[in-house]
Chains A and B, each alone.
Chain A
Amino acid sequence: MSQTEDSGVRTSDDGSLLVLFDLRIYKISAIKKAAYKFASDCSVLLKQLSVDQLEAHLSFSDNTDACAKKIIARAFCNEVIDQDLREQIAQETEATRNLILAQAFSKTSLLTQE
């Protein structure tokens, strides 16, 4: 049994927090990267509930109080958004980045004058 809290974050009986992500909006890879980045604050277990839903289970050390947990959970959600945006930027600019690096290490110009 778990208790619903604000902004889609629920607290379970053992004190861990559950965050539900809509996979139509967020990429799993972005959620994974955020989980990796938060390893010093909490451990994150990911469970895909359906094609469109993924639940992140955030577990904390015993000395983390409820307020700190909420702050971490919010920061985790922000990080997922950031990671999602990073992936979008990286994908969109990948060809340009490769061209710049190729040009940087080339002895002839790879860029047209137009």
Chain B
Amino acid sequence: MSAIELATKTGSPFNDLNAYNQSLKTGYRLLPFKFIRLDDKRMVLTNEVGEFLVIEQDYLRAIVNKSIEAGSQLYNNLKSKHFLIDDDSSIALELLAMKSRTKMQQISNFTGLHIFVVSLRCDHSCPYCQVSRQSEDKLAFDMSNDTAIKCLEFTFRSPSPSIKIEFQGGEPLLNFDLIKFIVIEAEKKNEVHNKDLEFVIATNLALLTDEILSFCLEHRIYLSTSLDGPEDLHVANRPRPGADSYQRVIQGINRARAILGPDKVSALMTTTAASLTRAKNIVDEYLLQGFNSIFLRPLSPYGFAVKTKWYQSYDIQNWLKFYFEGLDYIINLNKQGYFFVEQYAAIILNKMFSPQGTGYVDLQSPAGLGISAILFNYNAEVYASDEARMLAEMGDKTFCLGNINQHTYEQIMLSEALLNPIEQSIVESVPGCNDCGFQPYCGSDPIYHHATQKDSIGHKALSGFCKKNMAIMRRLICLMEDDPQAKQILLNWAKP
């Protein structure tokens, strides 16, 4: 009945209050949801689209047994977050379907990030290098122009409206002529394809010149660098001749900011055993250098990091202790008025609160291998991700999808080497993940599990990836439940 008809009939445009409480008579039905213990007393309920609710654990069975009183606060919370449906909420299924579709939208966009390894040569000799760089003088480790052209043709086959080309190494600036060639050729191609085209160079900045900066300015190229912390830590982690890696990266950051603009330079850190006791120092270094975020990252099980045993020098529990010390410190900084973000937490918070999915390859279902990001190695081989080529440099080519000189787009994108791990990374069907309460926020990392367990699916009870993500998700939800000020800060980070 319309409001006008209602007003004509009853003299009021509003229904009687009882009309909104049909559920008092007819009860409720459960909508699909999962749950997991938050701590000794509380449970987290999550639904298909990532909405969550924390309840006292005693209420869980009551919810399932349909004995929650209609109109109670818990009932209304469960209803508004789509954990139950009653006769007053017929729109719920359509809303859930719409939200599910929005969350998965990124899959239909297909590959956005295209990584070009223009050279495996490097001027640094980092013991934790995960890509197994080669020394500077080996020209055999540079990508050729012919290969680059074929990679670009492949890139523009992607249906994605946004294409990001990221140059990696080694140290990509050692083959800057090829970067220039690729950027100019890509821009020419884009005159036809008209994509949202973006370039990033992942560089240690040690070889930055005015010529390079001028080219970056002209072509709106972003720079992503590595900064591991204060000078002594950075130099120890990232040695180079002259022991000046810190000095060079700081100079590079400042020069790049001055010419390209402050938003054009970002930095990443990697945690080594020497970092574990220095979370606050590392965050302070980022503050000192004018960054407003940090990505606290553990070492990955690839390349020299494994060979030199740096990867094995700490376990995930040690890293989590470091991470939480850093996170707590960052939240306290925010409480004091500094806006500063921990990026991994922000990615997870985005998954919790944003209608869109994340572009972060490791926290997608299916994993973003090939379908979100793809990598062209210097030698024309195509890999499902950056980690896949790291593994290949260790002699394991499980995730090599083909060769750009020998295989077509269709052959590469439909190869078993890509389709199998994608299928195995759908967390909705992975043992240990399929019924996990944190599933809507998580993903599967087939390459990590292949590297650590020789099994792309992996046993999640033995998985460092699972331990890390479960612990961080628990901590974030606890913070939001127990500390209203922290909740407000974390909500501010959850912006797509």
Contact = CB atoms under 8 A, between A and B. Distances in A.
Interface of A: 33, 36-40, 78, 82-83, 85-86, 88-90, 92-94, 96-97, 99-101, 103-105, 109, 111, 114
Contacts of B462: 39-40
A56 B305 CA distance: 40
A105 to B, nearest CB: 7
A90 B101 contact: no
Interface string B25-40: 0000111111101000
A82 B37 contact: yes
Interface of B: 29-35, 37, 48, 60-61, 64, 85, 90, 93-94, 96-98, 100-101, 104, 431-432, 435, 459-462
B31 A93 contact: yes
B64 A88 contact: yes
Nearest to A83: B435
Contacts of A40: 461-462
Contact of A37 (B29, B31, B432): B432
A82 B35 contact: yes
A96 B93 contact: yes
B33 A89 contact: yes
A104 B97 CA distance: 4
Nearest to A98: B32
Contacts of B61: 85
B30 A86 contact: no
A96 B29 contact: yes
A100 B461 contact: no
Contacts of A82: 35, 37
Given A36-B461, A39-B461, A100-B32, A105 B101 contact: yes
A86 B61 CA distance: 11
B31 to A, nearest CB: 6
Given A100-B48, A104-B98, A86 B32 contact: no
28 contacts: A33-B435, A36-B431, A37-B460, A37-B461, A40-B462, A85-B61, A86-B435, A89-B30, A89-B32, A89-B33, A90-B435, A92-B30, A93-B32, A94-B32, A96-B29, A97-B48, A99-B93, A100-B32, A100-B96, A100-B97, A100-B100, A101-B100, A103-B94, A104-B97, A104-B98, A104-B101, A111-B93, A111-B94
Nearest to A94: B32
A15 to B, nearest CB: 21
A103 B93 contact: yes
A111 B30 CA distance: 17
A88 B90 CA distance: 23
A60 B97 CA distance: 45
B274 to A, nearest CB: 28
Contacts of A36: 431-432, 459, 461
Given A100-B97, A104-B98, A85 B64 contact: yes
Contact of B100 (A85, A93, A104, A109): A104
Please provide the 7 A-B residue pairs with the shortest distance between their CB atoms, ordered closest to farther. A103-B97, A97-B32, A104-B100, A39-B461, A93-B32, A104-B97, A104-B101
Contacts of B64: 85, 88-89, 92
A100 B459 CA distance: 30
A100 B93 contact: yes
A104 B95 CA distance: 9
A69 B356 CA distance: 43
Contact of B31 (A85, A96, A104): A96
B30 A93 contact: yes
B116 to A, nearest CB: 34
A39 B463 CA distance: 11
